[in-house]
Amino acid sequence: MSTENISFASLNLAPEILKALDEFGYTTPTPIQAQAIPIVLQGRDLMAGAQTGTGKTAAFALPMLQKLLPLASTSASPARHPIRALVLVPTRELAIQVEASVKVYAKHSPLRSLVVYGGVDIKTQTPHLMRGVEILVATPGRLLDHIEQRTLQLSQVQMLILDEADRMLDMGFMPDLKRILALLPKQRQNLMFSATFSTEIKKLSEEFLKDPLLVEVARSNATNENVTQKVYHVPQDDKHALLAQILNETETKQVIVFTKTKLTASRLARQLVREGISADAIHGDKSQLERIQALDAFKNGKIHALIATDVAARGLDIDQLPMVINYEIPSAPEDYVHRIGRTGRAGALGVAISLVSPEEEKYLVEIEKLIKREIPKETSNLPARGRASSERSHHDRGNREKGHERATEQRSTPRPSPAKKSSDPWFDKPYEPTGATTTKAPAPQLYRSNKPKREVAALLGGLQAKQ
Q: Interface with ligand AMP by CB under 6 A: which residues?
A: 26, 29-30, 33, 52-58, 317, 319, 345-346, 447-448, 460
Measured from the CB atom, is 218 or 292 closer to ligand AMP? Answer: 218
Measured from the CB atom, is 37 or 269 closer to ligand AMP? Answer: 37
Measured from the CB atom, is 159 or 388 closer to ligand AMP? Answer: 159
Measured from the CB atom, is 417 or 445 closer to ligand AMP? Answer: 445
Measured from the CB atom, is 55 or 235 closer to ligand AMP? Answer: 55
Q: How far is CA 304 from CA 227, 283, 296, 321, in A?
A: 20, 17, 12, 11
Q: For residue 262, which phi and psi values (nearest 5 degrees)?
A: -65, -40
Least spacing, CB of residue 181 vs ligand AMP, in Å: 23
Least spacing, CB of residue 168 vs ligand AMP, in Å: 16
Closest CA to 88 of 217, 156, 180, 195: 180
Classify burial at 259, counting beta carbons within 10 Å of its beta carbon; exposed 0-12, middle 13-18, buried 19 or more. Answer: buried
Least spacing, CB of residue 335 vs ligand AMP, in Å: 18
Q: How far is CA 407 from CA 10, 273, 411, 451, in A?
A: 41, 27, 12, 35
- Name 199's Cβ contacts closer than 8 Å, sequence gap at least 6: none
Helices (H) and strands (E) in the chain, counts: 17, 14
Least spacing, CB of residue 445 vs ligand AMP, in Å: 7
Least spacing, CB of residue 33 vs ligand AMP, in Å: 6
Measured from the CB atom, is 286 or 345 closer to ligand AMP? Answer: 345
Least spacing, CB of residue 114 vs ligand AMP, in Å: 19
Least spacing, CB of residue 40 vs ligand AMP, in Å: 15
Measured from the CB atom, is 3 or 126 closer to ligand AMP? Answer: 3
Strand partners, 258: 308, 326
Least spacing, CB of residue 464 vs ligand AMP, in Å: 10
Measured from the CB atom, is 29 or 172 closer to ligand AMP? Answer: 29
Q: Could you give the CA distance from residue 112 to residue 103 in angstroms, rounded to a whole number? A: 8
Least spacing, CB of residue 346 vs ligand AMP, in Å: 4
Least spacing, CB of residue 441 vs ligand AMP, in Å: 17
Measured from the CB atom, is 188 or 454 closer to ligand AMP? Answer: 454
Apex 455 CA angle, 449 and 458, nearest 5:
80
Cβ atoms 436, 250 nearer than 8 A: no
Least spacing, CB of residue 190 vs ligand AMP, in Å: 19
Least spacing, CB of residue 227 vs ligand AMP, in Å: 15
Greatest extent of the chain over all pairs of C-alpha atoms, in Å: 72
Q: Could you give the CA distance from residue 31 to residue 37 in angstroms, rounded to a whole number? A: 10
Q: Could you give the CA distance from residue 421 to residue 335 in angstroms, rounded to a whole number? A: 12
Crossing angle of the two packed helices 15-24 and 92-105, in degrees rounded to 10 = 120
Q: Could you give the CA distance from residue 119 to residue 376 in angstroms, rounded to a whole number? A: 41
Side by side, which strands form the sheet with 189-194?
113-116, 135-138, 85-88, 159-162, 189-194, 46-49, 213-216
SS (H, E, C) 125-181: HHHHHHCCCCEEEECHHHHHHHHHCCCCCCCCCCEEEECCHHHHHHCCCHHHHHHHH
Closest CA to 331 of 236, 424, 399: 424
Measured from the CB atom, is 88 or 247 closer to ligand AMP? Answer: 88
Q: Could you give the CA distance from residue 252 to residue 306 in angstroms, rounded to a whole number? A: 13
Measured from the CB atom, is 53 or 322 closer to ligand AMP? Answer: 53
Measured from the CB atom, is 3 or 198 closer to ligand AMP? Answer: 3
Q: Could you give the CA distance from residue 413 to residue 143 in angstroms, rounded to a whole number? A: 11
Cβ atoms 166, 119 nearer than 8 A: no
